Amino acid sequence: MGAKDIIAWLIPLFPFAGWLLLGLLGKYFKGYAGILASVFIVISFIFSSILFFIVSYTHGFTTTLYPWVYAASFRTGVSAVIDRLSVVMLVMVTGVSAIVHIYSIGYMQGDKGFARYFSFLNLFVFSMIMLVISNNLLLLYVFWEAVGFCSYILIGFWYEKKSAVDAGKKAFIVNRVGDFGFAIGIFLLFITTGTLNYETIFTMIPSIPSITVTAIALLLFAGAVGKSAQFPLHVWLPDAMEGPTPVSALIHAATMVTAGVYMIARFHVIFSYSQFASEVVLTIGTFTAFLAAFIALTQFDIKRIIAYSTISQLGYMFMAVGIGSYTAGIFHLISHAVFKGLLFLTAGSVMHGLSGELDLRKMGGLYSKMKITAVTFIVGGLALSGIPPFSGFFSKDAILADVYNKGFYFAWIIGEITALMTAFYIFRLIFVAFFGESNVDPKVHVHESPKIMTIPMVILALFALIIGFLGIPPFNKSVFYSFLHVAFKNAYNFAPFTNNAPWYILSLISVLAGLLGIFIAYLLYIKKAVNPEKIKNIFKPVYALSYNKVYIDEIYNFIIVRPVLGFSNFLWKVIDALIIDGAVNGVASSFAFFSTKTRKIQNGMLMSYVLTLTIGVAALLFYFFIR
């Protein structure tokens, strides 16, 4: 192992050590648990940055820690691939994690599970790092599930609350549904190529029949649909907001939920060789982006609005990877991680200032009382709405420009409509919460959050302001593109550019869509030009559809949950207890029946025994005679 390899393995080592240390001895660290955990992550971040520069100036490499599962022809090691894609992800994951860790010291202050919280948060960062650097599908799958477990345990962190535990369980199970497909994809890949190692697989893909590649890609995508909360498996993410808000920021916005996008980018060779699978990715992404934005229009829970917005933005990322614009997809992933992390942290700050209140209807006028929170929130909102010069403008437009120029006009129109809705719902939240008259419960003492929380927010806000410039349009001439696109050089160009519309026209349209959304929100909630109630009454069915989240949870409950439980009860009570055990006990009781009957023969009278014996002997003799 050289120095590079050691640096690579030190990155996951620190969070791993933090998990063990805090998990086993957490109570002895008391209030220092948070600082310790944060320091570990910061160290990880420093090593990630060093690795980033090493890879920028030299080549990527793979490194093996130890042989892991060797069974007959199945061979996989604990090995990492360090290339441009993984270092970009590493820096983002450890960077956002460090900020969220520091913020959490303030947010979780005084919670009785303080050490437990940081122990699991470190475990999450470890798992996420390993997910990003795995060089084979088995390891990827392991940490794919491991981040899911951390998500489960952190959503249900306040385990005495039934809704929280329910939400955690729902997340785990819905993810397992996706992972079911993912696992079968891995099996299929293994029997097709005989290996789970990325590099070997990628060299073989071009020679594999396209129907097989399509099947593999679609099955792997099922896993992404679960993890990245895309329709129809998006239902767990809004409920996941039951967890502590920094968890929502880190796991359910910035990192874990983007794993699906990362996975497709990582497997660009597989996906680009199946146009059909890529088009499915595009379709699901586009539809989800629209659906989630539509639902977000009418929600009142601020965290849920942001959660739906995450689902919607992930949809954009899938649009990008679905048309083969992998670099643009990753760019939006990074920029979204920053501004969405920011939105959640500021939402957490709002909650903190309002003693846990999440309902938009019980807010209002908060701007004067929590200025830092308000300003940073607005920065996040502007970035999400795609208003220049904030990062969302650059990254979302990089995607939409490619969608248009590759000729997917319908997806482009949906994308623009979604952008309008996005700007509307986030500014509806901003206007109602921070401006207008206050509806805050008078008993609540509204206050700005401590510095340990506001400083991380400000840092993220600054990044939301500057990070976009890495992708100054035209995107394919930007710094970010020229750094990362070499990682995707082996992709098959299945969707070539058909148009060459200038970027500034497309950007102008997007910005107008965003401004229009903000303007409508302004008319409704600041100017009060029209009473929102009136609009609600005009579009009653549409409003109800949006407000009730398109009834998807109810539909699942009706067509899946209840029938499965009913069927299971039938199996147990009818098949198991009545039929099988009935048959067994029937055999037993028939023995009992016959033995009570035959017992009468054994009556203790010598005469009857002699008689039986004689008859028996006679019968035997008779048998031998006639034989």
Residue 171 vs 342, nearer CB to other proteins: 171
DSSP 182-219: HHHHHHHHHHHHS--BHHHHHHHGGGS-HHHHHHHHHH
* 176 scored as a contact of other proteins (CB under 8 A): yes
As given in the structure block, the two tokens for residue 386 are: 């795609």
Of 505 and 587, which CB lies nearer to other proteins in the complex structure?
A: 587
> Which range touches other proteins (CB under 8 A), out of 32-40, 102-110, 170-178, 332-340?
170-178
Of positions 69, 211, 523, 555, contacts other proteins by CB under 8 A: 69
Can residue 208 be called a binding residue for other proteins (CB under 8 A)? no
Binding-site member from 3, 71, 538, 601 for other proteins (CB under 8 A) = 71
Is the peptide bond prior to 389 cis by the omega test (within 30 degrees of 0)?
Answer: yes
DSSP 378-397: HHHHHHHHT-TTSHHHHHHH
Answer for which of 107, 172, 267, 408 binds other proteins (CB under 8 A) is 172
Instruction: Report if residue 581 touches other proteins, rule: CB under 8 A.
Output: yes
Cα of first residue to Cα of last residue in the chain, in angstroms, is: 86
**Smallest distance, Å, CB 334 to other proteins?**
27
Q: Could you say whether residue 156 binds other proteins (CB under 8 A)?
A: yes
Q: At what angle do helices 84-107 and 451-466 cross, to 10 degrees?
A: 150
Minimum gap (Å) between residue 183 Cβ and other proteins? 6
Cβ contact 184:146 at 8 Å = no
State which of positions 352-381 bind other proteins (CB under 8 A). none
563 binds other proteins (CB under 8 A): no
| Out of 138, 320, 513, 518, the residue judged to bind other proteins by CB under 8 A | 138
Q: Is 20 in the site for other proteins (CB under 8 A)?
A: no
Query: SS3 string of 140-164?
Result: HHHHHHHHHHHHHHHHCCCCCCHHH
At closest approach, how far in Å is the CB of 7 from other proteins?
Answer: 22
Sole binder of other proteins in the list 1, 28, 56, 159 (CB under 8 A): 159
The two three-digit tokens of residue 555, written as one number: 């539909």
d(CA 398, CA 400): 6
Q: Which of residues 584-613 bind other proteins (CB under 8 A)?
A: 584, 588
Q: Residues with Cβ < 8 Å from 119, sequence gap 6 or more?
A: 18, 19, 21, 22, 23, 26, 33, 37
Q: Which stretch binds other proteins (CB under 8 A): 79-87, 246-254, 290-298, 565-573?
A: 565-573
Looking at beta carbons only, is 174 or 411 nearer to other proteins? 174
Least distance between other proteins and beta carbon 458 (Å): 36
Of the candidates 56, 548, 568, 589, which one interacts with other proteins according to CB under 8 A? 568
Q: Judged by CB under 8 A, which stretch of 156-164, 281-289, 301-309, 411-419 contacts other proteins? A: 156-164
162 makes contact with other proteins (CB under 8 A): yes
- The reply on whether position 29 binds other proteins by CB under 8 A is no
Which residue number, 115 or 374, has a Cβ lying nearer to other proteins?
A: 115
Contacts 24+ apart (CB under 8 A), 50-57: 50/7, 51/4, 51/7, 51/8, 51/11, 51/82, 51/87, 51/90, 52/87, 52/88, 52/90, 52/91, 54/4, 54/7, 55/82, 55/83, 55/84, 55/87, 56/84, 56/87, 56/483
**Please, are residues 265 and 329 in contact by the beta-carbon 8 Å criterion?**
yes
Check binding of 157 to other proteins (CB under 8 A).
no
* CA distances (Å), origin 118, targets 143, 502, 565: 19, 48, 37
By CB under 8 A, is residue 512 in contact with other proteins? no
Q: Residues in the chain, how many?
A: 627
If one asks whether residue 211 binds other proteins (CB under 8 A), the answer comes out as no
131 contributes a contact to other proteins by CB under 8 A: no
DSSP state, residue 448: P
Report d(CA 217, CA 202) in Å as an integer: 13
Which of 572, 593, 609, 622 touches other proteins (CB under 8 A)? 572
Site size toward other proteins (CB under 8 A) is 51
Binding piece for other proteins, criterion CB under 8 A, among 29-37, 63-71, 236-244, 319-327: 63-71
571 near other proteins, rule: CB under 8 A: yes
Q: Which is nearer to other proteins, 115 or 464 (CB)?
A: 115
Which of 32, 61, 149, 367 touches other proteins by CB under 8 A?
Answer: 149
> Per residue in 140-176, is it b (16+ CB within 10 Å) or e — as a string?
bbbbbbbbbbbbbbbbbbeeeeeebbebbebbbebbe
- Taking the C-alpha atoms of residue 584 and residue 148, their distance in angstroms, rounded to an integer, is 43
Query: Closest Cα partner for 430 from 313, 309, 333?
Result: 309
Question: Considering beta carbons, is residue 184 or 472 the nearer one to other proteins?
Answer: 184
Work out whether 173 is an interface residue with other proteins (CB under 8 A). Answer: yes
Position among 107, 117, 141, 481 found at the interface with other proteins (CB under 8 A): 141
Does the protein bind other proteins through residue 17 (CB under 8 A)?
no
Per rule CB under 8 A, is residue 576 in the interface with other proteins?
yes
In this structure, is the dihedral angle defined by the CA atoms of residues 385, 387, 392 and 394, taken in order, positive or negative? Answer: positive
180 near other proteins (CB under 8 A): yes
Q: How far apart are CA 236 and CA 621, in angstroms?
A: 80
Bridge partners of 450?
A: none
CB 575 to other proteins: min, Å: 8
CA angle 464–465–468, rounded 5-degree value: 80
Q: Name the residue nearer to other proteins (CB basis): 173 or 535.
A: 173
Residues that bind other proteins (CB under 8 A): 66-74, 138, 141-143, 145-146, 149, 152, 156, 159-162, 165-166, 169, 172-173, 176-177, 179-180, 183-184, 186-188, 190-191, 564-565, 567-569, 571-572, 575-576, 580-581, 584, 588
